[in-house]
Copies of this chain bind each other. A is one copy, B any other.
């Protein structure tokens, strides 16, 4: 029987044969493209050096982790974090080596906040003296820190946090106190079970000046401030008296990190706990000097946001690698007019439709063009089909860990408002013809004030003018918000309508990406002609895709003409057909190791079905258990005589 199973092969053509053919049909040089993608960075060398160290360590084996309970996943994550930290000592890894290793292992480490937010807050907000004390302890991991800002009732709105830090001039201490349940710190990573220190954000309450007496002084809040606080005993690892702390429990994704709740019951901390690079309180006089820019205290959040953007890029590259490899292999759709014909590879489907449409167009019927593009983008939602939901897809953890990032570290709505404020301010400078304004902003200001003329850009023949068109559109949208808010002085709440749509912000971000992408094309001279052409096609595909889906903006801002907009669906289809033969080699160039992908569908060698079967038949622990299916018998595991007492004990 086992020899029967061992001898079985997938039906022809096999995934390995297909993916080999995919690679043979493209003369893109994966090595050269990889070197270019990671230019100015020794990422590839680093990955080659670190990967074997990681895969040699049994604790980093990923095969069974989806079968572990949350408590076991957390134990595993802490063990892995310790090993990673030891490897830093052992191989004298720098921080980039460490981060790469952490990315490969793909756990969010219980030390994550210590290594990122905690140390950053100390570096940015602590005085020189505080830094001299804490930085060596942090680097040596003698203390493990976290960052406690958000509360049960207050996530986005930092001003609204309720935890109080009340200055007691008589003892020269602060008293940390949670007056309500909604003041409970909540979501704070690494703090639930791991950290013994935390940066704690609390409302600084000071006695009203002139009332600095011992008899019930009247207190006023000076807003949220940062304190560095020891919360657990360094020997017993138990919370200190006056601190209630724990992990908030299982959640969507991020099983390996201990998000905390934390309450303080009149907990006293010394004067030195106040991080005082910017905010200062004289312990003797009680005189307080506030930071020049109050928002400076939240800088730490910004750092983490940029980390999230960086990791999202890697997450996206992983998802695209899996999707392209698998859809080149997966045969799924069949032509209803040829029901006995072969199924098409999912990846060929959009260009297959393109070929059909070409024929019609050659016969003078242009109607299919307009909708082909929306079809091809609609496809992505179900192109992975059933196996995308399987644990072996490599998507299940990626999906749940990344989905929640939309909300982590400040929800999108708050960030949207902040970015909009900034953009409005910049546009104000342009309106005042200030020196900081850029060309597209000035052009818009002048034209819409009747002092200039807006000419369409030629986006079909000039890459540079594609960039100009995106800049024009972004400036046009920001100008609209600027006029509403600053010139017409509309209330902020009424602007929420357009801000929520996020158009002006997104337009600005996309304009940046298009600009960087276009600039990077000029640095590819050393690549083969094919590769350069494909990269330029990718640039245009990206630009045209966004232009077409937001066509109206580009027309209204006179960035492009209606006839060029109408030409885009056809151009997009042509670009897709040009890129299609190179798709597998393009994703190969991200050089994502199979160990990181952890995906049967996205394996480099194309052995999709062999790996799906192996994971099910050889690795699934459920198959080691024989069950008793008879409902009239208590026994769950055949021969155990146990009934359900053991499982009941876990409830």
Contact = CB atoms under 8 A, between A and B. Distances in A.
B81 A70 contact: no
17 contacts: A9-B180, A10-B181, A11-B180, A61-B651, A66-B70, A76-B647, A79-B636, A155-B385, A192-B622, A247-B622, A249-B615, A250-B396, A252-B393, A252-B395, A356-B494, A357-B494, A389-B403
Given A252-B390, A382-B407, A613-B184, A237 B638 contact: yes
A248 interface: yes
A413 B633 CA distance: 43
Nearest to A642: B75
A216 interface: no
A630 B68 CA distance: 23
Interface centre among A61, A110, A241, A620, by most chain B C-beta atoms within 10 angstroms, is A620
Interface in A410-450: 411-413, 417
Contact of A72 (B404, B498, B647): B647
Interface string A229-270: 000000011100110101111111100001001010100000
Interface stretch (A40-48, A93-101, A328-336): A328-336
Given A629-B194, A636-B78, A386 B187 contact: yes
A501 B371 contact: yes
Interface stretch (A27-35, A372-380, A452-460): A372-380
Interface in A181-214: 181-184, 186-187, 192-196
A81 to B, nearest CB: 7
Interface stretch (A156-164, A277-285, A316-324): A156-164
A407 to B, nearest CB: 5
A457 to B, nearest CB: 27
Contact of A356 (B4, B178, B179, B491): B491
A153 B339 CA distance: 17
A386 to B, nearest CB: 5
A290 interface: no
Contacts of A609: 152-153, 181-182, 184
A59 interface: yes
A132 interface: no
A411 B385 contact: yes
Contacts of A238: 626
Nearest to A332: B156
B610 A647 contact: no
Interface size class of A (residues with CB under 8 A): 35 or more
A412 B650 contact: no
A293 interface: no
B237 A183 contact: no
Nearest to A253: B389
A637 interface: yes
B356 A382 contact: no
A82 B632 CA distance: 7
Given A10-B182, A242-B1, A644-B59, A71 B621 contact: yes
Contacts of A288: none
A303 interface: no
A308 interface: no
A366 interface: no
A619 B249 contact: yes
Contacts of A150: 386
B59 A625 contact: no
A66 B407 contact: no
A58 B408 CA distance: 36
B247 A616 contact: yes
A315 interface: no
A493 B335 contact: yes
Interface string A84-111: 0110000000000000000000000011
A110 B152 CA distance: 38
A5 interface: yes
Given A252-B389, A261-B617, 10 more contacts: A64-B651, A75-B627, A78-B636, A141-B630, A181-B609, A252-B396, A336-B493, A353-B494, A353-B496, A368-B497
Nearest to A150: B386
A251 to B, nearest CB: 5
Contacts of A5: 244, 263
Nearest to A494: B356
A566 interface: no
A492 B337 contact: yes
Contacts of A494: 353, 356-357, 360, 368
A5 B408 CA distance: 27
Contacts of A176: none
